[in-house]
């Protein structure tokens, strides 16, 4: 069957000649087939490692000079060439070329063009295997720092809103059914806790990844008298990785990053889902700002929460990135295998998805407005203070809780039969179920009284939430 060209096939790179690869082609008579180049090249995505590659090469070069493995003169030429390349990349003038396969060889080839033979000495006592492992660790470390900033900003926006709404009553739900009233501030602070644990997970992973693979060379170490502590130090790592095989072949740091991202994605997705509910006209608890609402091209009345929906969807993408990379790595014998080139795209995609989601969520939270009246009306619906009534029976009539639960259930049924709220039952009606009830009970039936009474540690009482906001500021910001 001949391959039919379709509009969705990507443009192929033109392999003009079949000349052997200048980096590793010594033993070859002919260059790679066009399709080989196509499947082998990673430059289209690993160009994102350019800065880390230059930084790593600089540290390696400094060490080679310090250990007199290369001359000062060659070292100086390499450093000035790298500087020039760094500038070309920053200015968008660098030509990334498929025939040089990946970012490492693109930079080395350019270095050779710029400084000639000395360029060939940079790869002494190094392999692309320890080079890419180093670059990627540096990249993920920077990504963690960006995510940390994003999570921090989101927590700050949530705490700001929570402070405005320590008294705002809303329905607390279980099974999406009215359960007990809570305050909106309390609800938002629940997410502050989740994102706080997410930050902790990223920080844990960062501490574990901060060891340097450079100097592990291809897999076995090197016969040159290198100083791995020096390169590790220069690159901000705590120490060199202990085992050369492990150094070039494990990608657990990438998986840990994606696992943490997936968990943050779960939290973002739940919040996003609640926002979608809250801003629907049926709930009408919140209004998203114009900046975070979209219109419909056919229905003029619509204000759609597209950002929240996309955040909800992007979390699924992050889970895919994680499970894809888990599957890629699980069967690989030590040490390096080219499969591992496929480690980058899921990590880049997971990072991009999470980073953008955090920024959009922060914007939505910071600019939304609350419809306190609608929240309060809904908070009282569904006999949400029935538990307060049962607690009253326990406290004032010394009734066992199970019996109080039963009596309250009968009162709820009576209210339902009359088509009203619990608080609308007359005293006589209440006494027809339990003769010892007095009018004092009315006090516990309001939603404000209900939330104010939830003063146990971690509870929703406005006094608690005010304190919790201060505590959250101290712990997280
Ligand atoms: N582009 C490669 C990667 O990302 C670099 C390492 C190549 N090493 C090798 N032995 N072919 O994995």
pLDDT of residue 7: 63
What mean pLDDT is predicted for residues 463-472? 98
CB 453 within 8 A of CB 132: no
What mean pLDDT is predicted for residues 339-353? 98
Expressed in angstroms and rounded, the spacing between residue 132 Cα and the centre of ligand 1 is 7
Ligand 1: residue of 39, 100, 102 to mutate (most ligand atoms within 8 A of CB) is 102
Q: How far is the C-alpha of 293 from the C-alpha of 276, rounded, in Å? A: 11
Query: Which atom of ligand 1 has the smallest separation from the CA of 336?
Result: 10
Query: Which atom of ligand 1 has the smallest separation from the CA of 136?
Result: 4
pLDDT of residue 397: 95
Please write the tens of the pLDDT for every residue from 161-212. Answer: 999 999 999 999 999 999 999 999 999 999 999 999 999 999 999 999 999 9
Query: Which atom of ligand 1 has the smallest separation from the CA of 218?
Result: 10
- Name the more confident of 19 and 355: 355
Ligand 1: residue of 129, 218, 219, 245 to mutate (most ligand atoms within 8 A of CB) is 129
Sort 465 into a burial class: Cβ within 10 Å, 0-12 / 13-18 / 19+. Answer: buried
Q: How far is the C-alpha of 56 from the C-alpha of 69, rounded, in Å? A: 17
DSSP secondary structure string for all residues of 120-176: GGTTTT--HHHHHHHHHHHHHHHHHHHHHHHHHHHHHHHHHHHHHTSS-EEEEEETT
Peptide linkage before 335 cis (omega within 30 of 0)? yes
What pairs with residue 128 in β-bridges? none
Q: How far is the C-alpha of 347 from the C-alpha of 260, rounded, in Å? A: 12
**Which of 219-228, 229-238, 280-289, 414-423 bottoms out in mean pLDDT, i.e. has the lowest?**
414-423
Please write the tens of the pLDDT for every residue from 128-152. Answer: 999 999 999 999 999 999 999 999 9
CB 132 within 8 A of CB 104: yes
Expressed in angstroms and rounded, the spacing between residue 193 Cα and the centre of ligand 1 is 40
Q: What is the mean pLDDT of the chain?
A: 94
pLDDT of residue 243: 98
Please write the tens of the pLDDT for every residue from 390-418. Answer: 999 999 999 999 999 999 999 999 999 99
Q: Is residue 16's pLDDT more than 90?
A: no
Instruction: Please name the residue whose Cα sits nearest to atom 12 of ligand 1.
Output: 341
What mean pLDDT is predicted for residues 433-460? 94
CB 358 within 8 A of CB 154: yes
pLDDT of residue 313: 98
Known catalytic residues are: 175, 296
Instruction: Please name the residue whose Cα sits nearest to atom 3 of ligand 1.
Output: 341
Residues with CB under 6 A from ligand 1: 42, 46, 102, 128-129, 132, 336, 338, 340-341
**Which of 32-36, 139-143, 183-187, 344-348 bottoms out in mean pLDDT, i.e. has the lowest?**
32-36
CB 77 within 8 A of CB 113: no
Q: Is residue 315's pLDDT more than 90?
A: yes
pLDDT of residue 29: 81
Helix (H, G, I), strand (E, B) or coil at 263: helix
Instruction: Please name the residue whose Cα sits nearest to atom 7 of ligand 1.
Output: 128
pLDDT of residue 226: 98
> What is the CB neighbour count within 10 angstroms for residue 329?
19
Instruction: Write out the two tokens for 396.
Output: 């004032």
Q: Is residue 8's pLDDT more than 80?
A: no
Please write the tens of the pLDDT for every residue from 42-59. Answer: 999 999 999 999 999 999
Expressed in angstroms and rounded, the spacing between residue 62 Cα and the centre of ligand 1 is 23
- Percent of residues, the chain, with pLDDT higher than 70: 96
pLDDT of residue 295: 85
Expressed in angstroms and rounded, the spacing between residue 247 Cα and the centre of ligand 1 is 14
Expressed in angstroms and rounded, the spacing between residue 48 Cα and the centre of ligand 1 is 15
What mean pLDDT is predicted for residues 87-113? 97
Ligand 1: residue of 109, 132, 249 to mutate (most ligand atoms within 8 A of CB) is 132
pLDDT of residue 1: 42
Expressed in angstroms and rounded, the spacing between residue 107 Cα and the centre of ligand 1 is 14
pLDDT of residue 10: 59
């Amino acid at each position: 069957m001949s391959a039919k060209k379709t509009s969705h096939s990507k443009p192929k790179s033109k392999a003009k000649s079949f000349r052997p690869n200048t980096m590793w082609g010594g033993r070859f008579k002919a260059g790679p087939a066009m399709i080989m180049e196509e499947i082998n090249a990673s430059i289209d995505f690993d160009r994102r490692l350019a800065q880390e590659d230059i930084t790593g090469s600089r540290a390696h070069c400094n060490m080679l000079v310090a250990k007199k493995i290369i001359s000062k003169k060659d070292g100086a030429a390499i450093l000035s060439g790298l500087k020039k390349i760094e500038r070309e990349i920053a200015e968008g003038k660098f030509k990334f070329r498929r025939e040089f396969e990946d970012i490492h060889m693109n930079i080395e080839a350019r270095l050779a063009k710029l400084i000639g033979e000395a360029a060939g000495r940079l790869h002494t006592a190094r392999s692309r295997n320890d080079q890419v492992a180093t670059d990627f660790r540096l990249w993920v470390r920077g990504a963690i720092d960006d995510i940390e900033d994003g999570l921090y900003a989101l927590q700050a926006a949530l705490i700001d809103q929570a402070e405005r709404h320590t008294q705002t009553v809303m329905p607390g739900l279980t099974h999406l059914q009215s359960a007990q009233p809570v305050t909106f501030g309390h609800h938002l602070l629940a997410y502050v806790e989740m994102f706080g644990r997410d930050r902790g997970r990223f920080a844990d992973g960062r501490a574990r990844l901060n060891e340097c693979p450079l100097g592990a060379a291809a897999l076995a170490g090197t016969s040159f008298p290198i100083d791995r502590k020096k390169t590790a130090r220069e690159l901000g790592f705590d120490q060199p990785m202990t085992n050369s095989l492990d150094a070039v072949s494990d990608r657990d740091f990438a998986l840990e990053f994606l696992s943490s991202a997936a968990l943050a994605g779960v939290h973002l997705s739940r919040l996003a889902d609640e926002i979608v509910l809250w801003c629907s006209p049926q709930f009408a608890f919140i209004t998203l700002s114009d900046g975070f609402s979209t219109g419909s091209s056919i229905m003029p009345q619509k204000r759609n929460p597209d950002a929240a929906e996309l955040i909800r969807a992007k979390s699924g993408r992050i889970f895919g990135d994680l499970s894809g990379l888990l599957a890629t790595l699980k069967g690989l014998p030590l040490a390096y295998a080219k499969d591992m080139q496929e480690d980058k795209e899921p990590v880049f995609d997971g990072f991009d998805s999470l980073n953008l989601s955090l920024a959009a969520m922060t914007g939505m939270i910071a600019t939304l407005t609350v419809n306190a009246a609608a929240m309060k009306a809904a908070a009282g619906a569904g006999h949400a203070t029935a538990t307060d009534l049962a607690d009253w029976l326990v406290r004032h009539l010394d009734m066992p809780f199970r019996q109080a639960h039963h009596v309250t259930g009968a009162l709820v049924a009576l209210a339902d039969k009359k088509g009203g709220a619990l608080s609308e039952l007359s005293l006589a009606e209440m006494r027809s179920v339990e003769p010892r009830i007095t009018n004092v009970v009315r006090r516990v039936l309001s939603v404000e009284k209900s939330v104010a009474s939830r003063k146990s540690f971690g509870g929703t009482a406005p006094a608690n939430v005010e304190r919790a906001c201060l505590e959250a500021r101290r712990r997280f910001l």
